[in-house]
Amino acid sequence: MLKKKKMFTPTNLYNELNKVKEITINQNNTVEFNTNQLKKLDPKNIYHINDIKKTCIDFRLRFLDAKLFKGVFPTEASIKLQQIEKKHGVSYENLKIMAPSKMFKLENYDDPLLFADLGNGYYYFIHKWGNDLHPLRKFLVWPYKNLINICIATIALSIIVSSLIPISLFTPNPSISDSILVHLFVFKSIGAIVIYYGFASGKNFNEAIWRSKYFNR
């Protein structure tokens, strides 16, 4: 019996990070940390903080200290870390994890990837575990990247919603001005919901939270 193909394939975070890295390499192929250390490392596992930052912002993820991670830290990850430390002749203490906010023990203000800090804005990938991200995550969190995106999304959604509302319900002879009024009303309503959800619940944009250890800042 043939298996049905899934309409959307889960997003592999490691692959997405590599896509960002490839673009960066094509734009700027310089490396700015100790060359003796570089000889011991696998170049394909080295990532600059800008690559990590862009990936976190695109998918609304956090890049925080491993000590804040509340998920299960697999034995395989520990073994890989020990093997890498032995091979490199160094002990990596400043470990970071890239994962969704719910995977961390975030403090109140008032699929994970494990990295080791190499210094000078570079990080060494150690291990990936857990499930892949929802295939639509990047699209769903796009409005929360920054203020411009949320405004564009609000306007687009209000246009769609207002176009579905029959103006004849309000007036027997609808005109362009009536359509504009309905659109403005819908835009105002959706905007109010966005503002309430964002500010009342302490939400912030992707660009602001990717390295924040606070759940409401």
Per-residue pLDDT tens digits for 98-119: 988 888 876 655 478 999 988 8
Same domain for 123 and 199 = no
Question: String of b and e for 144-161 (b: at least 16 CB within 10 Å)?
Answer: bbeeebbeebbeebbeee
Show the tokens assigned to 212: 């924040």
Same domain for 165 and 122 = no
Query: Is the confidence at residue 81, as pLDDT, over 50?
Result: yes
Per-residue pLDDT tens digits for 60-71: 899 999 988 887
Show the tokens assigned to 23: 């673009």
Same domain for 173 and 69 = no
What is the mean predicted confidence (pLDDT) over 133-155?
Answer: 86
Domain that holds residue 169: 141-209
Same domain for 90 and 19 = yes
Per-residue pLDDT tens digits for 34-48: 545 556 778 889 999
DSSP state at residue 122: E
Residue 54 has a pLDDT of 93
Specify if 91 maps to a domain.
yes
Per-residue pLDDT tens digits for 152-190: 998 999 989 888 888 777 777 778 887 888 888 888 888
Task: Identify the three-state secondary structure at position 160.
Answer: helix
Provide, for the chain, the percentages of residues in helix, strand and coil under a 3-state DSSP scheme, each rounded to the nearest 5: 50, 15, 35
Specify if 3 maps to a domain.
no
> Global pTM?
0.70
Specify if 104 maps to a domain.
yes
Same domain for 189 and 83 = no
Number of domains in the chain: 2
Same domain for 123 and 43 = yes
